[in-house]
Amino acid sequence: MRVGIDIGGTKCLGVMLDPEGEVVAEARVPTPSTTLTLLDVLVDLTTRFDQPSSLGVGFPGLMNSNGEVGASAHLGEVQSEPLRARLAARLHDLDFDFPVVIDNDATAATLAEWKVGAGRGVDDLVMVTLGTGIGGGFVFGGRLYRGARGYAGEIGHAVIVLDGRPCPCGRRGCWERYASGTALAEAAGTATGEDAVVAARAGDPAAMRAFADFTRAVAIGLANLVNIVDPAVIVLGGGLIELGDELLEPVRADLAAVLYGAEHRAIPRIVPAELGERAGAIGAAMLPERQSTGSR
């Protein structure tokens, strides 16, 4: 009975998987901002589940292979922390002795979509999550790719506009400042990206311009990824994916318009993620088993 927790920009979602991989329980709480309160939340969520056999956690930021936080653009107070070791020690004090693994949240979501979601049967794919920011993950040659230190997939912080909009990471012009749900809401002057879409549907000129700029920005970032790694499939996740073809069709058209040599190559399929908001937590629950078997 594996437990996985996805630490999101606004909420922490925990799930328990049965031996067949089905979600049999879940719980959620708001995401805290400090290391101490984050540890409290992770322990609380874990102990809500009955007799877990392992714990995996998806963290939004740089996370090395030892479960040590490097940095997080959206959890600014959780920096340079041995998070896995501290969490395992807290659980040990409560007589919970089982494997604990922490990895990047988008890497966890990629694992889930690759194994049991939209990427099933695909050996080369890129996953892009459009949420508060942008995360990503890679599967190359039928293996989950994490990079030399575990930091691969921080695609939201690839700069697409020199000296552009300021990013919470401390730099300017990052892709997620133009192509995330947060960026869409800011450009449209709405509370959320979903609100911006509603306004665009109603004919609001600012929201319509913002949505067109958003889909083109998404496509520009995807084109850069395609030029670099040439995936067979791009899996798009995040809350806005619920729009379906209303989002996917303009992104596909914009990608064809900006991709190098589009008329001479097969353009990767862009497909919506299938596991919804649970993808990161389901993938996190899978992490300990993959680490114990040495599987990538």
In the chain, domain spans: 2-107+277-293, 121-273
Q: How many residues does the chain have?
A: 296
- The reported pLDDT for the residue numbered 291 is 65
Strand order in the sheet with 143-145: 143-145, 134-140, 125-130, 233-237, 269-272
Asked whether this chain's domains 2-107+277-293 and 121-273 adopt the same fold, the reply is yes
Q: Which range, of 69-78, 83-92, 118-127, 175-184, averages the lowest pLDDT?
A: 69-78
pLDDT band at 35 (very low <50, low <70, confident <90, very high): confident
* Residue 210 neighbours by CB distance under 10 Å: 24
Provide the percentage of residues in the chain whose pLDDT is more than 90: 69
CATH of 121-273, one of 3.40.50.300, 3.30.420.40, 3.40.50.150, 3.10.510.20: 3.30.420.40
Q: What is the pLDDT of residues 211-269, one digit of tens each?
A: 999 999 999 999 999 999 999 999 999 878 888 899 999 999 999 999 999 999 999 99
Looking at the predicted structure, is the pLDDT value of residue 295 above 70?
Answer: no
CA distances, 242 to each of 131, 184, 238, 245 (Å): 12, 15, 8, 9
Does the domain spanning 2-107+277-293 belong to CATH 3.40.640.10? no
Q: Please, which residues bridge with residue 270 across strands?
A: 234
Output the pTM of the full model. 0.88
What does the block give as tokens for 101? 């693994």
Residue in 85, 8, 70, 72 with CA at minimum distance from that of residue 45: 8
Q: Where do the DSSP E strands lie in the chain? A: 2-7, 11-17, 23-30, 54-59, 62-63, 69-71, 100-104, 125-130, 134-140, 143-145, 233-237, 269-272
